Amino acid sequence: MVKSWFNKILPSLGKQHKEEKKSPVPQGLWQTCSNCKEILYGPDLEANMYVCPNCGHHIRIGARHRISYLIDHDEYKEISSELKTKDWLSFTDTKKYKERLSDAKTNIDETEALISVHGKLNDKDVVLSVFEFRFLGGSMGSVVGQKFVDAVEFAIEKSCPFICVATSGGARMQESLFSLFQMSRTSAALNKLKSKKLPFISVLTDPIYGGVAASLAMLGDINIAEPKAQVGFAGPRVIEDTVRVKLPEGFQRSEFLLKHGMIDMIVQRSHMKDKISGLISKLHTG
Amino acid sequence: MAYTYLEFEKPISDLENKIESLRDNKDNDESVHQEISSLSDKIENLTKEIYEGLSIWQKVQVARHPHRPHFSDYIENIFTDFDELHGDRLFGDDQAIIGGLAKFKGNPVVIIGHEKGKSTEDKISRNFGMSQPEGYRKASRLMKLAEDFSLPIITFIDTPGAYPGIESEERGMSEAIAKNLSIMSGLKVPIIVIITGEGGSGGALAIGVGDHISMLQYSIYSVASPEACASIVWRDNSKAQEAAEAMKLDAKNLLDFGLIDNVIDEPLGGAHRDTKKASSLIAKEIDDNLKRLKEIGIDELIEKRYQKIMSYGSIQK
């Protein structure tokens, strides 16, 4: 008893490392909900899949957490994890793109903004791609595009459904047209998946904008959003600057998308795995 | 409309003005004629010199030149018997993208392109070439029509980007663009894409997936407009020039990167100096490639297009 309590507040170094890789929120015993500002007990929040027990706010989480919530026993094989960007443009803004990449790698211990895995979801074989927002805003460059396409191709090879959990600021500016063309690339791969009658479940999580919204994210056979996720083509600031009116309350949120016919359903994080599993059991009977 | 010179064309405009004033001169003797002729030669050499050394930012300015030919000019000069087809059959008729049936060298084709508009009124009704979702849905409807009747598709790209508005979002801008990318990757007819002016972001790509992609010499194509990129990356949209240089968004660079298939030369001093010549150069590009693509069987064409789309990436081997 004492030992388990001790482990709770003083996890072993190795475990802490894994937790850091998983969690987007500062590790601490007490955390504040970014929505209702309620002070929450860390382990309770984690047990609640980072959904605020007070207001139901779905706190942004990292890709590894997502995978652990969807893949049985958190056991999976990663696809194309070794790919690296070639900075063909030698892009430099206030900082070199190469430095931005290596900083991101160091800071969050991931190699890119997308992780693709093969594993089981409620005992069914699936391929899952998950965006990591903490890696350069989850932006889509060549490697993200390639890892996505490789995952789709892998699903075709294994004849299993494909799921993507997106969260992204859009196409990665630093790779310019290379990034833009990842939109057609990922869309073409999904078109091929469809021709093989394999379902694509697109899970929309806060936030998704630009080139990722206007390609893979909106192409699900089923589009599912977490509550209150912000999803749109143009960012609210750009729209406000263009049309010079105040944007309506809840603009571009999941509930807005549902009302305007852009998504099939809104599903709570805690129900997501079972919902996906149920949908797959109807679309993929082979 | 008075001719607009770009800032870097000032030396050219000075010489043009000199010629004008000589022409106005009453004593129209032989020496004046000679001077005009020598000044004209000078202009030609100077134009050549200036245009050969254009910086990326200067190319952006040429791509956006107020006199740059539009899709409507190319329709008139390259195609015959154009029947404009309106509407997306779902919501409306977006005038920022126009399209329809036409004949190219006597053969029917489907043409689709952005139209920025000419007069102020026209520009407003066409929303300066910034489409709403309806424009992309009209485009996809016309592409399906082309497929149903086995007609090749030729698209003309010239847009600052898709329109960022409240209604665009309500009517699913993201879905409209995404759907086109998916559809175009598998259409069972040849698709030729020509970037004639500004290739701005997803709004350009939404009619830009095809078997052969060419750019006019002084056109541009990028993930975001230089201003948008500057505002995202530098958090300062006055850094547009730096953003344009960093994105290497001109035709020559993009050809070197293998992201486009060909650069179509423009007449001396840019397409706006000679719309007819620019049109005939584009027509030749269309003709050469249509002939080539028509020889390829449909299954092979789609497989090649898929491989082409898959080849775009900047990854360490």
pLDDT in tens, A136-153: 999 999 999 999 999 999
Q: Taking residues A60-65, what's their average pLDDT?
A: 96
Mean pLDDT of all residues belonging to chain A: 91
Q: Residue A24: which pLDDT band, with cuts at 50, 70 and 90?
A: low
In whole angstroms, how large is the CA radius of gyration of chain A? Answer: 19
Whether residue A173 lies within 8 A of chain B, CB to CB, comes out as: yes
Q: In chain A, what residues touch B312 (CB-CB under 8 Å)?
A: 142, 145, 178, 181-182, 184-185
pLDDT > 70: percent of chain B: 98
The residues, ordered by sequence, that sit 6+ positions from A279 with a Cβ below 8 Å of its Cβ are A199, A201, A222
Q: In chain B, what residues touch A248 (CB-CB under 8 Å)?
A: 166
The answer to whether B315 contacts A214, with C-beta atoms less than 8 Å apart, is no
Q: Residue B2: which pLDDT band, with cuts at 50, 70 and 90?
A: low
Whether residue A249 lies within 8 A of chain B, CB to CB, comes out as: no
Three-class secondary structure of residue B214 per DSSP: strand
Q: Residue A17: which pLDDT band, with cuts at 50, 70 and 90?
A: very low
pLDDT > 70: percent of chain A: 90
Q: Taking residues A22-37, what's their average pLDDT?
A: 77
The answer to whether A182 contacts B312, with C-beta atoms less than 8 Å apart, is yes
pLDDT > 90: percent of chain B: 90
Whether residue A233 lies within 8 A of chain B, CB to CB, comes out as: yes
Whether residue A224 lies within 8 A of chain B, CB to CB, comes out as: no
CATH class of B60-310: alpha beta
pLDDT in tens, B49-101: 999 999 999 999 999 999 999 999 999 999 999 999 999 999 999 999 999 99
pLDDT > 90: percent of chain A: 83
Q: Where are the domains of chain B?
A: 60-310
The answer to whether B175 contacts A177, with C-beta atoms less than 8 Å apart, is no
Query: What is the structure's pLDDT at A18?
Result: 43
> In the 8-state DSSP scheme, what is residue A209?
-
Whether residue B238 lies within 8 A of chain A, CB to CB, comes out as: no
Query: What is the structure's pLDDT at B23?
Result: 84
Sign of the CA dihedral with B110 first, then B116, B120, and B121 last: positive
ipTM metric: 0.95
B308 vs chain A: nearest CA distance in angstroms? 9
A282 vs chain B: nearest CA distance in angstroms? 24
CA B266 to chain centre: 12
CB contact at 8 A, B207 and B139: yes
Q: Residue A203: which pLDDT band, with cuts at 50, 70 and 90?
A: very high
Q: Taking residues B200-207, what's their average pLDDT?
A: 97
Q: Give me A224's structure tokens.
A: 């599912």
Whether residue B301 lies within 8 A of chain A, CB to CB, comes out as: no
Q: Taking residues A98-123, what's their average pLDDT?
A: 96
The answer to whether B246 contacts A88, with C-beta atoms less than 8 Å apart, is no
Query: What is the structure's pLDDT at A25?
Result: 56
Per DSSP, the residues of B259-272 read SSSEEE---TT-GG
Evaluate if residue A2 carries a pLDDT over 50: no
Whether residue B229 lies within 8 A of chain A, CB to CB, comes out as: yes
Query: What is the structure's pLDDT at B314?
Result: 87
Evaluate if residue A8 carries a pLDDT over 70: no
> Number of A:B CB contacts under 8 A?
198
Q: In chain B, what residues touch A232 (CB-CB under 8 Å)?
A: 169, 173-174
The answer to whether A217 contacts B174, with C-beta atoms less than 8 Å apart, is yes
Query: What is the structure's pLDDT at A242?
Result: 86
Does B24 or B15 have the greater pLDDT score?
A: B15
Evaluate if residue A7 carries a pLDDT over 60: no
Question: Which of A85, A189, A239 has its CB closest to that of B164?
Answer: A239
CA A222 to chain centre: 16
Ordered domains of chain A (ranges, CATH): 1-59 (no CATH), 62-283 (3.90.226.10)
The residues, ordered by sequence, that sit 6+ positions from A134 with a Cβ below 8 Å of its Cβ are A24, A62, A104, A107, A108, A110
On the CB side of B216, CA atoms within 13 Å amount to 36
Q: How do beta strands B97-104 and B153-159 pair? A: unpaired
CB contact at 8 A, A176 and B222: yes
- The H-or-E segment that residue B194 falls in is strand B191-200
The answer to whether A184 contacts B184, with C-beta atoms less than 8 Å apart, is yes
Q: Taking residues A151-166, what's their average pLDDT?
A: 98
